[in-house]
Amino acid sequence: MVAWKNFDQLESYKALNETECVDLVQALTAERVKNYTVPMAAGMSYNYAAKQVDDKILELLAKLSEEAELVEKFKELYNGAVINTGEQRLVLHQLTRGQLGNAVNADGVDKRAFYVEQQNKIADFANKVHNGEITNEKGEKFTTAVQIGIGGSDLGPRAMYLALENWAKVNGCFKMDAKFISNVDPDDAAAVLNSVDVSKCIFILVSKSGTTLETLTNESFVKDALAKAGLDASKHMIAVTSETSPLAKSSDYLAAFFMDDYIGGRYSSTSAVGGAVLSLAFGPEIFARFLNGAAEEDKLATNSNIKENPALLDALIGVYERNMLGYDSTAVLPYSQALSRFPAHLQQLDMESNGKSVNRFGEPVDYPTGPVIFGEPGTNGQHSFYQLLHQGTDIIPLQFIGFKNSQIGTDVDIQGSTSQQKLCANVAAQIVAFACGKEDENKNKNFEGGRPSSIIIGDQLTPESLGALLAHFENKVMFQGFVWNVNSFDQEGVQLGKVLAKRVLAHETEGALAVYSDLLNI
Amino acid sequence: MVAWKNFDQLESYKALNETECVDLVQALTAERVKNYTVPMAAGMSYNYAAKQVDDKILELLAKLSEEAELVEKFKELYNGAVINTGEQRLVLHQLTRGQLGNAVNADGVDKRAFYVEQQNKIADFANKVHNGEITNEKGEKFTTAVQIGIGGSDLGPRAMYLALENWAKVNGCFKMDAKFISNVDPDDAAAVLNSVDVSKCIFILVSKSGTTLETLTNESFVKDALAKAGLDASKHMIAVTSETSPLAKSSDYLAAFFMDDYIGGRYSSTSAVGGAVLSLAFGPEIFARFLNGAAEEDKLATNSNIKENPALLDALIGVYERNMLGYDSTAVLPYSQALSRFPAHLQQLDMESNGKSVNRFGEPVDYPTGPVIFGEPGTNGQHSFYQLLHQGTDIIPLQFIGFKNSQIGTDVDIQGSTSQQKLCANVAAQIVAFACGKEDENKNKNFEGGRPSSIIIGDQLTPESLGALLAHFENKVMFQGFVWNVNSFDQEGVQLGKVLAKRVLAHETEGALAVYSDLLNI
């Protein structure tokens, strides 16, 4: 049995607090860039040369990993322990893409077999839609998949779709457009519906519980639109939900695909939640390749040597930055337009998992946990908030992502280089600019440097590398949650707002809430 | 003459540091919600009842405003002083929407007249495009405007376009689609070009200097595409640039519209930078209404009474939170899908303006300046990062924005309320949940509260209210820059990365930079 202890109860905590971090201005040598790198799946690598750690600190981080039994805790997780203590649930999202340990049985079934069964059902359905066996009432092919979901049913799948949309178009596996309706703001659903031919849309209703208010409201919105167009909603909708939800057996849907309570929304991109929309958009084979990339990366996360486990190493360095160096936020900066919404997905993944003040036993912790995560693609961010990153009063660690090749392959040569080369040159330049700075007598033009970053480098953003990226960050967040001794798999912090919103809608308010309701005309 | 002093040199700094902030759990009464509100332009209001200030702190903030001569500094600015000391420039973006003080002459012309002249030229051009006087070579009407620009030439105009797109469609003034190419990633331009009929596109090349590498690269990208389609690029492109730029007099463009050095990129949405694309998309009358909203809000920013000056009050409370309460970031949370990219615009506006470590005289400051800004629309954010905002270990001030009415007006009644009512109920509920919290014996379900927020409430997101919102935040950022004694109008922090990227592309690298360049295959 592993021991769950608060971070500040560990020997390593004290030892790490006594270290002095590395002065990057001096330390960032060519040797270091060559050596401080760890292979990832799908031919990628995680390079941490521009982090404020050295061999001594890395040794202490390795000790922390051992002392906190991080890899053992992961092993417990994938072997089916009740890691989500708050909700008394197993945590099984890795099982959607592979099996790292023993067979896991729950609800009377082998869960790996259950997830694979759902994938096969989705694949079969998607193939029938693509080959015209399943059509609209007029016998016309469906052209567009519209996901109706919020939070994890939206951010991850949307980010993954955008990441592969252009790749799929170039590689001849683009099957259907995908659109997303998430917000309860009626303008969200109305605008999406105005942009499509509803008669050729399959709507994917995604709600694990079958009770998410925003999603059910948007379902009604869509059903209204279908009815107005004289269409039978039950011939245009599928559901992704848990087997016990009210949506599961309804005749309102063409088909229902299942997830379960062991997969949190923010960890659900590789489950049926991402599977339905991505299989419809790109075909089941592409979704399978995406899962393979994730599975390959998951395997690396089982290595106990931190230099062979990029997610673990990334997690440990992040903890060092958060707790020893006092950095409060992290910027995620993919140099890839296709990853435009990947930071928004990571924002949920990280902040909803580790934005906690109590440990697994419900006791307050005395150290900072999850940081603020934000980001935009480079080079756009360079012309926006990088000013503060370079010269602001706070230091903000940076997570770069870059690919040697573009997805579409169309390019121009201007001033002796392609756009892709310019893109890559910029990310290389930024790492060094942040780390090393540049002295200037004019202090307004002075760059102090010492601003840490890491970079994940890949050949190209493909289904495999995207899967690996996704799994890397899921596992990183998990390991950090283990260090902080928090439950990364519940989200009690979202409940109070829901309760109060219901009260507002029922006009059962008083005091400040009543006045705010009046001001907003409810 | 006003005196430019560091914040910590002021009496008010000490006095504010000695205050104790308000305990919102106790303080947030109905009375307070009614009273702590300031009218804004376009019928909006700024409500700060859920901020940790009371009358005593507000009095000290009023004193700070006086002592730091904030309104006088604004007066100097709009009367044409050299407020951008780093670059020795006037700061005149307010003049694009009105004249708050004396006539300002620069470059031998009256600048208000110059900006109006550009607006009139754009209006004339847009009208001719809309009525078919200006067409493509086949005499077909242009259907799409594609903005090529990065940073302020992209984020602000894109956010404004998205904010009004659906409103314009419903109100019969939608003239042309707008698309945006910004990133030097070749997949950005390629994907946009794949999504349009280039023969019916007007491309708007936006670069003040005429030398922005990303933008010129994307221009070539577009010219390549036009050439491949057998089209004459000069019949499909217009330029927005400064009069002295290489683009200004080129026969490569159908027309050129001018901005100047007195308008920073991030402050340029109301100049020709936003004017061209927004006038093409929605018609010049709508752009004029947007300017009127901004002008009306600017006037409020001249009031020396902080309770009649919402931007000033918002700025002062933000400074109190940053410097006295130690909060490092701020979340911008519009409950409006149309404002989906407004947080990204504010991120640039705020972080690029005030992410500085030296004062106006180039001396290091000893206090934190601009915070990290991030955000997503509600209710989406509720199902994402709100967990950390409610229960994380750090307190993050929140800036809500809400409207009583939707833009499109299509809605459904589910469980006794419309989507719009649900949207508004959620924002009201969140404010109270964050401020007041809720005790629970199960500490995992406990909400400590005391998490401050403000809300801007409007009737509907229209051209006028959007203009007012934009100006509010521009003026807020300016006032905060005045308090911190930084130059909010330059961005020297973006230079080093540019220099190093050029060196990479010229293969003039050594050490770490050379290895990173190798790793990225440049």
Tokens 């400064």 sit on residue: B242
Q: Could you say which of B188, B376, B512 has the minimum Cβ distance to residue A32?
A: B512
Q: Is B408 on the interface with A (CB under 8 A)?
A: yes
Q: How far is CA A374 from the centre of its chain?
A: 12
pLDDT reported for residue B491: 97
Distance in Å, alpha carbon of A462 to nearest chain B alpha carbon: 14
d(CA A510, CA B437): 15
CATH class held by domain B21-91+301-485? alpha beta
**B53: Cβ–Cβ under 8 A, 6 or more apart, which residues?**
B21, B22, B61, B317, B320
User: Phi and psi (nearest 5°) for B58?
Assistant: -60, -35
Q: How confident is the model at residue A183 (pLDDT cuts 50, 70, 90)?
A: very high
Q: Is B122 on the interface with A (CB under 8 A)?
A: no
Number of helices followed by number of strands (H, E) in chain B: 18, 15
Whole-number Cα distances in Å, B279 to B53, B119, B127, B252, B338: 42, 9, 9, 22, 18
User: Phi and psi (nearest 5°) for B84?
Assistant: -85, 85
SS3 call for A137: coil
Residue A483: pLDDT over 90: yes
Residue A51: pLDDT over 90: yes
d(CA A345, CA B385): 10
> Once rounded to an integer, what is the mean pLDDT over residues A457-471?
98
Contact A348 B385 (CB under 8 A): yes
Q: Is A379 on the interface with B (CB under 8 A)?
A: yes
CATH superfamily to which A7-87+304-492 belongs: Glucose-6-phosphate isomerase like protein; domain 1 (3.40.50.10490)
- The string of pLDDT tens digits covering residues A417-440 is 999 999 999 999 999 999 999 999
- How does DSSP assign A386-408, residue by residue? HHHHHHSSS---EEEEEESS-SS
Residue A444: pLDDT over 90: yes
d(CA B95, CA B92): 5
Distance in Å, alpha carbon of A34 to nearest chain B alpha carbon: 7
Q: How many CA atoms lie within 13 A of A141 on its CB side?
A: 12
**Which residue in the list A296, A352, A376, A474 is annotated as catalytic?**
A352
pLDDT reported for residue A250: 86
- How does DSSP assign A409-446, residue by residue? ----EETTEEHHHHHHHHHHHHHHHHHH-B--SSGGG-
Contact B176, B142 (CB under 8 A): yes
B 270-299 residues inside an 8 A Cβ radius of A = none
pTM greater than the 0.90 cutoff: yes
Amino acid type, B61: L
Chain A positions touching B221 (Cβ under 8 A) are 410-412, 419
pLDDT reported for residue A1: 85
d(CA A416, CA A425): 13
d(CA A361, CA A381): 40
Q: Is B88 on the interface with A (CB under 8 A)?
A: no
Distance in Å, alpha carbon of A102 to nearest chain B alpha carbon: 31
Within A12-151, strands assigned E span 37-39, 45-47, 105-106, 109-110, 144-148
Contact A412 B220 (CB under 8 A): yes
pLDDT reported for residue A265: 97
Contact A47 B519 (CB under 8 A): yes
**Which residue in the list A169, A404, A498, A502 is annotated as catalytic?**
A498
Contact A504 B155 (CB under 8 A): no
- The string of pLDDT tens digits covering residues A57-116 is 999 999 999 999 999 999 999 999 999 998 999 999 999 999 999 999 999 999 999 999
Tokens for B197, please give them: 């009929």
A 339-368 residues inside an 8 A Cβ radius of B = 344, 347-348, 351-352, 354-358, 362-365, 367-368
Residues of B identified as active-site: 352, 383, 498
Q: Where are the domains of chain A?
A: 7-87+304-492, 93-291, 493-522
Chain A CA closest to residue B165: A191
Q: Is A442 on the interface with B (CB under 8 A)?
A: yes
Angle between the A155-170 and A342-354 helix axes, to the nearest 10 degrees?
Answer: 150
Tokens for A143, please give them: 């052209």
- The string of pLDDT tens digits covering residues A132-156 is 999 999 999 999 999 999 999 999 9
A 151-210 residues inside an 8 A Cβ radius of B = 151-152, 154-155, 165-166, 169, 182-191, 194
Which residues face B398 on adjacent strands? B331, B453
Tokens for B219, please give them: 């221009």
Contact A388 B351 (CB under 8 A): yes
d(CA B284, CA B127): 8
d(CA B127, CA A373): 44
Range B94-291 has CATH code 3.20.20.70: no
Tokens for B271, please give them: 């100049």
Termini Cα distance of chain B: 53
pLDDT reported for residue B449: 97
Residue A22: pLDDT over 90: yes
Distance in Å, alpha carbon of B103 to nearest chain A alpha carbon: 31
CATH of domain A93-291: 3.40.50.10490
H, E, C per residue of B144-193: EEEEECCHHHCHHHHHHHHHHHHHHHHCCCCCCEEEEECCCCHHHHHHHH
**Which residue in the list A383, A441, A507, A510 is annotated as catalytic?**
A383
d(CA A179, CA A176): 10
Distance in Å, alpha carbon of A124 to nearest chain B alpha carbon: 30
d(CA B411, CA B404): 13
pLDDT reported for residue B425: 98
Contact B493 A387 (CB under 8 A): yes
Q: How many CA atoms lie within 13 A of A17 on its CB side?
A: 10
Residue A249: pLDDT over 90: no
Q: What residues of chain B score a pLDDT lower than 50? A: none
User: Phi and psi (nearest 5°) for B490?
Assistant: -115, 180
User: Phi and psi (nearest 5°) for B271?
Assistant: -90, -170
Contact B253, B239 (CB under 8 A): yes
Mutate to test the interface with A, among B184, B390, B486, B498 (most CBs of A within 10 A): B184
Q: If we measure between CA atoms, which residue out of A431, A422, A432 comes closest to residue A333? A: A431
Residues recorded for chain B = 522
Chain A positions touching B402 (Cβ under 8 A) are 520
> Once rounded to an integer, what is the mean pLDDT over residues A458-482?
98
